Structure 1
Amino acid sequence: MIKQPGLLRLKKTSSTLLCLLISGISTASLAASPRIIEEVIVTANKKAESAQDVPLSISVISADFIQESGIADVSEITRYIPNVTFDASLALYTTITIRGFGTPPLGVGFEPSIGLVIDDVPYGRSTFAQDAVFDIDRLEVLRGPQGTLFGKNTLGGVLNFHTMDPTAEPEGFIKIGRGENIESTSVEGALSGPLIGDKFLARIAMRLTDADTLEFNSTRNEQQTQEDKALRLKLAWLISDTLSADFTGLYAESLTKGYTQSLTKASERSLRVFREYDPRVEDDAFDQNTSTDSPTRSDREVQALSLSLTWRPDSLLGIQAPEFTTIAAWSEVIIPYSLDVDYSPVNLVAFNEPPDGNPYSSSSLEVRLAGELTPPFDWGESLDMVVGVFAQHSTNNVFQEIDVDLNGLIAFGRAGAIVQNIQFPFDPILIGLPVDTSGLIIGGLERERYISGTDAETDSFALFSQFNWAFTERLTATFGMRYGADESSGASFSQVADGNSISGGSLNQRDFDAPNLKRKETNVSPKFALNYALLPDVNIYMNAAKGFKAGGFDPAPLNDDHLQYEGEETLTYEAGIKSRLLGGSLTLNMAVFDSDVKNLQIRTFSGVTLTTFNAPESASRGAEMDFFWLPPIDGLSLAGSLAYLDANYVYFPEGPPLFTPEQDQTQDLSGKPLPYAPRWSGSLSPRWEVPLFGSDHLLASIRMNISYTGERYQDSDIDPNTLQDEITRIDAGLGLRSERDQWSVNFQARNLSEEQDSVLILDQPLIPGNYTKAPLPDQTTYQMDVRFSF
């Protein structure tokens, strides 16, 4: 039987689904007139405006979609957003990519390449994104460089989250969820209302989750688990008719025992040696069993505070409808972890928990003024503007403590590892010979400990401005400019703390001390856009923008080969169309883009150690489309997206090498595709809601979410063994709710097609030809959510 290409399967599945929906609504009434889609308001330009009027590619995911689909993490949300991926399989390695560019995996201590903004506050690490997905209002995804208004580290785009604000009327909700096939229990809730009259409002929201992860560890005989809790307080104070203050405080904690990375390809020789330590060792990443001997956990603790003051006088310095905003913010994330990074039951290499948990903290201040001006020389209809200043101080500390057991190194040598640049052609111990090498070296001589670390401080400063000039009722031009300066200081070191560095050659480790690392960078990021109303509900636009991400210091390197990496720069051109058609019942948006990036930062595992590279020239070109349609049938809606992406290393003659016995130092990756960048992706989400048993007070819904992701490489060295196959995932759900949403029940079945997808594929350390994978669940999982509102 010939396997159908994924896009063909998606089309056939979609056609079948539409036929089923149409045949199933014979008793439904046709709408008397076109139903109108509500206007979607976004803040992409630091002001509230219709998404259809913003000249850039935007996707908006609403709270209703998130709630009905039972989504509790960002990776599930981004499945339905074209050209966007998110991975948080480990808290310390959270990554986001947009149009092929993003924060590299395995990049603890790295600045993100995709901006993250929660309630108008920028956050300096991607891991904060998970703290926005409770009591959420909406997510706006802005694609393309957003440096003008959102600053550095936004060369691929921005995830702009909005959580629910305090309300003038008392309200609240509680939602209880239960998952099966991956056991989970979750509770989410909020209380909101006035504290003092109608001038001082408050909202407090919380989330608790207790879940098993995908894997059981047979070597340690333990189920891997995850606990998550978060608490957010928001206060809103109307000090006067023109002055208001908003405060947000957040605390979140995540405790994960174990991780899902396990062997996906291994030689029989390796498996035979590993089974001497655990008979259940295998190289099937989807059998829900992993075999690692050392304690493994990845925790996360977040604290964040922000205070915003907004002054809205009648006029200011000739500016009409002025809005003067000051935002002071502080955030900290601590990521303690311990990892068994040889991915085997052999006691070889273990990353011990860093004493301080690798803390990152940031303090920032943004002051901006927005309003309307008289157009110069009275040319045009209107001119609105945003000007401001931004300052930030951040600290980042990464410490790494590695224990190596020389007895384990002997076992890995038998399994085919390269030890001190030597690979035995076969296992020197005969098969079946009752020899135990785990205690061959004794007396405390078997352990060697390596420590390394990087401390860094960065001061950032920026001046920014953007002007939207409406020349006519139809034609608007946008001019933007940001000047930014970053100054960093830091120190890195590596040394043998205990032992004789016998294994140092195998780990590519060398003692060094670099106490005075310095970097200073400046950048100018301009933006120009045109928006033209071709018809009353059809806009065409084009824009050109530059983006920038500062360079930095390699986090906790084992040698001094790559202590620093250079900053990234991108220039992106985009053109598109935004439309409301069929009497306002259909929104259809399309865009094409062309991006070039210089010095793209990538993080790769060489089979021995992690290294940071800069790819001199990379490019991303493609197109994306999304739509939302309310057909002339009561209760029926249809949403979907389709994306094409051609992302490549244009020039990269000294890229990271494949891990082979020859131990090459580099390879030419020029012309090869970028990792984590599928050529095709798409989604289709039909939903039908009707009164149950003819009742006007009881509504039932059926929905289906179909997502397609093309094949993509999952390591930066573009190893053919890291190619993830295309997948077409089908989720389905049933819902029941009261007409006024006092209560609702939602049932969700995920991955009905039982696709085998993954987020990361890496070489197994030291053994060429062996690979590990971080799989997603390949079985169908189920979730039931019950929500009460009051």
Structure 2
Amino acid sequence: MRQQFTPNRHPLRSAIRFFSTSALIVAGSGLLSSALHAAPRIIEEVIVTANKKAESAQDVPLSISVVGADFIQESGLSDVGEITRYIPNVSFDSSLALYTSITIRGFGTPPLGVGFEPSIGLVIDDVPYGRSTFAQDAVFDIDRLEVLRGPQGTLFGKNTLGGVLNFHTMDPTSEPEGFIKFGHGENIESNNVEGAISGPIFGDNFLGRLAFRYNDADTLEYNSTRDEQQTQEDKAVRLKLSWFLSDTLTANFTGLYAESLTKGYTQSLFIASDRSMRVFREYDPQTEADAYDQNTSTDAPTRSDREVKAASLSLIWRPDELMGITAPELTTIASWSEVITPYSLDVDYSPVPLVAFNEPPKGNPYTAEAIEVRLAGGLDAPFDWGEGMDFVVGVFAQESTNDVFQDIDVSLNGLIAFARAGAIVQNIQLPFDPLLIDLPISLPDLIPGIIERERYISATQSTTQSFAIFSQFNWILTDRLTATAGIRYGEDESEGSSYSRVAAGASISGGSLNQSDFSAPNLKNKETNVSPKLAFNYEITPDVNVYVNAAKGFKAGGFDPAPLNDNNLTYKGEETLTYEAGIKSRLLGGSLTLNMAVFDSDVKNLQIRTFSGVTLTTFNAPESSSQGAEMDFFWLPPIDGVSLAGSLAYLDAKYDSFTEGPPLFTSEQNQTQDLSGKPLPYAPRWSGSLSPRWEFPLFGSADLLGSVRMNISYTDERYLDSDIDPNTLQDAVTRTDIGLGLRSESSDWSVNFQARNVTQEQDAVLILDQPLIPGNYTKTPHPDQTTYQLDFRIGF
């Protein structure tokens, strides 16, 4: 009998309580403001580039959220995951560099997708990046983050099935300026520094900006088996140059180098049988199954590093007139990027020396070279219908290479220990541990060293060439009605090879790992796609717009990265069709922005990456869907210094048809299960945030300002693995962060204090089966302790 979705809490009730409280705060503030009869304050217009041109966010006919530099700076945010916590229907995780994942409206990049193309687009300073892990390099010296929800294939291309994260970092300035920020954290011991210097280099026509970041931290995890503290180190530098070659021609260059070093892995035992714990404690008496006690017990060296190099050059030509086009802008962008993610992992998540992933010799490099040429401008209205038209047309070409290599060591003595602990070894599970006693020391090695270890290697190399032609036209039919039509034609052609083999001699443990020797030297995949878009935007009043749109998105298929067998060497491309309707408004005299949207998405061949308890496998779910609604607002009530921001999202994302989905890992070793009708993983039904802030003068001084702020975020329960195992259901979480600030209005210095997770909520990123042992689980937790951070920033 198929298991049914049976939540162990009442998420709707929790959501109602949370948002009822939020509504009371809003209503209470409104009553107070009405009583004061103060003049309304005006929210500044937010400019975005969602349509490859600068325009007001309120005029863009799609669901978009913008997080600016002020909020990021005051809240002390230096991680994309912390930023997206306050954006409806968006989640981001980079707890491990090679497994970075993003989801929007339930669709996204699988968290176990090393070497996997993303399903959410990532654009930094108008340059697309082909791996989600690049996102962390945009957070320092940041100007804003635009989150575009829904397919964005027309202008941003493939791999934008669920949306786009569109980052903008600070540009060079015409006047000398800069800043430096120092920070210190407690409970997660950390020290960080960030800074930038900007201004003219040669005259007024050649400008530059140099920004950097450095962070050194001890994580909360201590490895008792190896007697070592887990640490993180992160550094990055970015150079931006702008050269005004003439009144009409500008050249921009961006160069980036970033490196992060992480020792340790926060995947800890979460559920483990008494039988397993008895065996594990023979190797480390401190082993436990509490993922939140800041202790882990793994024997093999574990680290996850990342090295990024990127460069881009753009030429922007803005002649006064070109072939009858008004305000023409011809943009050419050439870019190159590379990310290397060397790692070594203890993937049995125990103190038993069983399975270890050794560092790949090349570090799993991904490189991409791309060029885009586009022309934007205005035209007269076709057939003299309407008031005019603006457009973007262009071409895009890219070549990317991907190299994923796995080097796996298996200890046969460790395999014997795991068999005692309840593992399935060679399709056999011992009904009980033959040694039903606790041993004060480890068992002697039963198999001599010369034959005790077995080594497996597997790899996938691929090269993909992509080409696209795209266009989008905004037809201003009346002073209130605008129609948008766009289309993109793309081709993706991939060639690659995969293999897996036992490195030396025959294999004893290969059957337990589902490993088999194979070679597939001539993998090929070619796909073409047409992604159209149609939208209408109607201005009801100068401050209220309604819109509807329909758009398709596409992500090409590919080759399974470094598989241990040839059961699933390739996976199909995925495609979505999304309908959306929304309203964007500026109310109360311009003091309140309120935006709402509803959407309906259907996806064919959704790509799912899952861990079966033995190995990682890529599946295609034939039919999936996502329906829901989202709302965000920002309000400046007529109380000096007070502001209130918030969001609310509802999401119903599920597998519609998935009769051969990934199975639950049990002793029966089923090959598949029917997941039709089950919810998609990592997709909470309700989510939201509320961020009140009050800034006020201190000691009667208009120059010295203090501030108090609170960030509250709610995330409903959701499954944290693709097989929708009831044991991977994460409870709903309401997290509260509190901040205090002090700044000078004239001297450009500030001090900010943050207390995060003051309610000590227990949240997690991922829950997986422990390899080989049915019924045991591991978890990647967020810290459940309250952490503190103090930042001092001075500008010059």
Q: Is the 8 A contact 1:185 1:210 kept in 2?
A: yes
Deviations 1:216-271 (A, max 9, x none): 00000000000000000000000000000000000000000001100000000000
Residues 123-148 of structure 1 deviation map (CA, whole Å, 9 limit, x = unaligned): 00000000000000000000000000
Aligned mate of 1:253, from 235, 254, 259: 259
Q: Which residue is equivalent to 2:100?
A: 94
Contact 1:30 / 1:634 at 8 angstroms: preserved in 2? no
Checking the alignment, whether the CA contact within 8 Å between 2:11 and 2:717 is kept in structure 1 is: no
Shift of residue 693, structure 1, vs aligned partner:
1.5
Question: Is the CA contact 1:6–1:728 (under 8 Å) kept in the aligned structure 2?
Answer: no
CA displacement, residues 49-73 of structure 1 (integer Å, 9 cap, x when unaligned): 0000000000000000000000000
Tell whether the 8 Å contact from 1:146 to 1:155 is kept in structure 2 after alignment.
yes
- Post-superposition CA distance 1:45-95 (Å, at most 9, x none): 000000000000000000000000000000000000000000000000000
Q: Which amino acid in 2 is paired with 1:170?
A: P
CA distance in 2, matches of 1:606, 1:438: 31
Q: Structure 1: 5+ residue runs without aligned partners?
A: none
Give the aligned partner of residue 68 of structure 1.
74
- Answer yes or no: is the 8 Å Cα contact 2:282–2:440 preserved in 1: no
Q: For residue 105 of structure 1, report the CA deviation from its aligned partner.
A: 1.2
Tell me whether 497-506 or 296-305 shows the greater mean CA deviation.
497-506
**1:579-590, aligned counterparts within 5 Å?**
579-590=585-596
Other structure's SS at 1:326 match:
strand
Match of 1:638 among 644, 654, 660: 644
Paired AA for residue 125 in structure 1: R
| Residue 119 (str. 1) matches residue 125 (str. 2) | yes
Deviation at 1:378, TM superposition (A): 1.1
Q: For 1:433 and 1:290, locate their aligned partners in 2 and report how far apart those are by CA, in whole Å.
A: 21
Alignment map for 1:80-479 (pairs within 5 Å): 80-432=86-438, 436-479=442-485
Deviation at 1:464, TM superposition (A): 0.1
Task: State how far apart, in whole Å, the 2-side matches of 1:146 and 1:25 are.
Answer: 40
Q: Does residue 558 in structure 1 map to residue 558 in structure 2? A: no
Deviation at 1:6, TM superposition (A): 2.6
The whole-number CA distance in structure 1 between the counterparts of 2:33 and 2:299 is 56
Deviation at 1:22, TM superposition (A): 9.4
C-alpha distance in 1 between matches for 2:760 and 2:143: 31
Return the offset for 1:536.
1.1
Deviation at 1:649, TM superposition (A): 0.2
2: CA distance between counterparts of 1:18 and 1:528? 36
- The answer to whether the 8 A contact 1:686-1:703 is kept is yes
Whole-Å separation in 2 of the counterparts to 1:422 and 1:435:
27
How far apart in 1 are the matches of 2:569 and 2:12?
Answer: 47
Q: CA deviation at 1:7?
A: 1.8
**Which residue is equivalent to 1:49?**
55
Shift of 1:17: 6.1
- 1:21 shift after superposition: 7.9
Aligned partners of 2:502, 2:752: CA distance in 1, in Å?
Answer: 55
Aligned twin of 2:623: 617
29-38 or 726-735, which deviates more: 29-38
1:337-386, Cα deviation, whole Å (9 max, x unpaired): 00000000000000000000000000000000000011111110110000
Give the whole-Å Cα distance in 2 for the aligned partners of 1:355 and 1:430: 42
Sort the Cα spacing of 1:438 and 1:123 in 2 relative to 1 into closer, same or farther, 3 A: farther
1:14, distance to aligned residue in structure 2 (A): 3.6
Q: Aligned equivalents of 1:38 and 1:223: distance in 2?
A: 46
Q: CA shift at 1:96, angstroms?
A: 0.1
In the alignment, structure 1 residue 626 sits paired with structure 2 residue 615: no
Looking at structure 1, the residues matched to 91 and 746 of structure 2 have their Cα atoms a distance apart, in angstroms, of 35
1:437-464 residue CA offsets vs partner (Å, 9 max, x unmatched): 3511113111000000000000000000
Q: The residue matched to 1:767 in structure 2 has which SS?
A: coil
In the alignment, residue 245 of structure 2 is paired with which amino acid?
I
Match of 2:5 in 1: none
Residue deviations 1:544-570 (CA, integer Å, cap 9, x gap): 000000000000000000000000000
CA distances 1:470-498 after superposition (whole Å, capped 9, x unpaired): 00000000000000000000000000003
- 2:10 corresponds to 1:6: no
The one-letter code sitting in structure 1 at the alignment partner of 2:237 is: L
Q: Tell me the SS of whatever aligns to 2:361.
A: coil
More displaced stretch, 80-89 vs 496-505: 496-505
Which residue is 2:6 aligned to?
none
The answer to whether structure 1 residue 543 and structure 2 residue 552 are counterparts is no
2:710: which partner in 1? 704
Q: Distance in 2 between matches of 1:750 and 1:23?
A: 30
AA partner of residue 376 (structure 1): P
Equivalent-residue separation in structure 1 for 2:67 and 2:415 (angstroms) = 50
In the TM superposition, residue 32 of structure 1 has moved relative to its aligned partner by 3.9
CA distance in 2, matches of 1:382, 1:196: 41
- Pick the aligned partner of 1:533 from 539, 543, 563: 539
Alpha carbons of structure 1 residues 4 and 82: separation in structure 2 relative to 1, 3 Å:
closer
CA-to-aligned-CA distance 1:603-654 (integer Å, 9 cap, x gap): 0000000000000000000000000000010100000000000000000000
CA distance in 2, matches of 1:366, 1:542: 29
CA contact (8 A) 1:237 1:246 kept: yes
Q: The residue matched to 1:299 in structure 2 has which SS?
A: strand
1:521 corresponding residue in structure 2: 527
CA distance in 1, matches of 2:579, 2:791: 43
Tell me if 1:665 matches 2:671.
Answer: yes
Give me the whole-angstrom Cα distance separating, in 1, the residues matched to 2:548 and 2:259.
42
CA distance in 1, matches of 2:29, 2:784: 27
CA, structure 1 residues 520+584, in 2 after alignment: closer, same or farther (shift >3 Å)? same
Conserved? CA contact 1:701–1:736, under 8 Å: yes
Do residues 755 (structure 1) and 740 (structure 2) align?
no
Distance 1:551 1:195 in 2: 46
Identity of aligned residues (%): 79
Paired with 1:31 and 1:23, the residues of 2 have a C-alpha distance of 10
Checking the alignment, whether the CA contact within 8 Å between 1:6 and 1:708 is kept in structure 2 is no
Contact kept? 2:319, 2:327, Cα under 8 Å = yes
The SS at the match of 1:364 is: strand
Residue aligned with 1:498, SS: coil
Please give the alpha-carbon distance, in whole angstroms, between the structure 1 residues aligned to 2:633 and 2:428: 57
Whole-Å separation in 2 of the counterparts to 1:16 and 1:650: 38
**Aligned counterpart, 1:78:** 84
Task: State the TM-score, normalizing by the size of structure 1.
Answer: 0.98
Q: Quick check: 1:253–1:302 contact (8 Å CA) kept in 2?
A: yes
Do structure 1's residue 485 and structure 2's residue 491 form an aligned pair? yes
* Inter-partner Cα distance in structure 2 for 1:25 and 1:525: 48
Letter in 1 for 2:648: L
Question: 1:596 touches 1:618 (CA, 8 Å); kept in 2?
Answer: yes
Check conservation: 2:123, 2:165, Cα contact below 8 A.
Answer: yes
Q: Indicate the larger mover: 59-68 or 426-435.
A: 426-435
Check conservation: 2:360, 2:406, Cα contact below 8 A.
yes
Q: Secondary structure at the match of 1:339?
A: strand
* Rounded Cα–Cα distance in structure 1 between residues aligned with 2:545 and 2:619: 41
Contact map agreement 2:500 2:519 (CA 8 A) in 1: yes
